[in-house]
């Protein structure tokens, strides 16, 4: 069914990004600072895709990173730093796939993992 295909595109995503930022085990201040630093560095690099994983959700409901990280990434998208993004599920738990605007004049670097 067409609706299922569209929904699958929203909640599942590529694990094969140019860069992977794993925030598992971090609290909100450390996770958001890691995102800030990653986005700042990527402003000067060639555009690339990034997989941001959050780890498995806390079964007790405390310390969930999805909402604060999602808001931070949406703000970066509105600010023109991120070109595209979507929430994903992966083997590493929930997260986000994104593509940075970067610097078109920068040379492409080997992918970091």
Encode the chain (113 residues) as per-residue pLDDT tens digits: 555 544 544 444 555 789 999 999 898 999 999 999 999 998 889 999 999 999 877 666 666 898 999 999 999 999 999 999 999 887 777 899 999 998 888 776 554 54
- Predicted local confidence at residue 55, as pLDDT: 82
pLDDT of residue 113: 47
pLDDT of 63 reads: 61
pTM above 0.85, yes or no: no
Q: Do the Cβ atoms of 76 and 97 come closer than 8 Å?
A: no
pLDDT at 11 (0 to 100): 45
Q: State the number of CA atoms in the 13 A half-sphere of 55 facing the CB.
A: 13
Handedness of CA 14, 16, 17, 19 (dihedral sign): positive
Q: Judging by beta carbons within 10 Å of its beta carbon (0-12, 13-18, 19+), is residue 113 exposed, middle or buried?
A: exposed
């Amino acid at each position: 069914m067409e609706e299922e295909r569209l929904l699958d595109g929203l909640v599942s995503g590529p694990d094969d990004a140019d860069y992977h930022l794993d925030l598992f085990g971090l609290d909100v201040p450390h996770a958001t600072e890691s995102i800030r630093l990653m986005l700042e560095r990527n402003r000067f690099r060639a555009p690339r895709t990034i997989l941001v994983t959050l780890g498995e959700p806390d079964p007790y409901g405390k310390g969930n990173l999805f909402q604060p990280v999602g808001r931070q990434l949406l703000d970066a998208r509105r600010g023109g730093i991120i070109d595209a993004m979507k929430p994903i599920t992966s083997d590493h738990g929930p997260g986000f796939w994104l593509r940075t605007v970067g610097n078109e004049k920068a040379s492409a670097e080997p992918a970091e993992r």
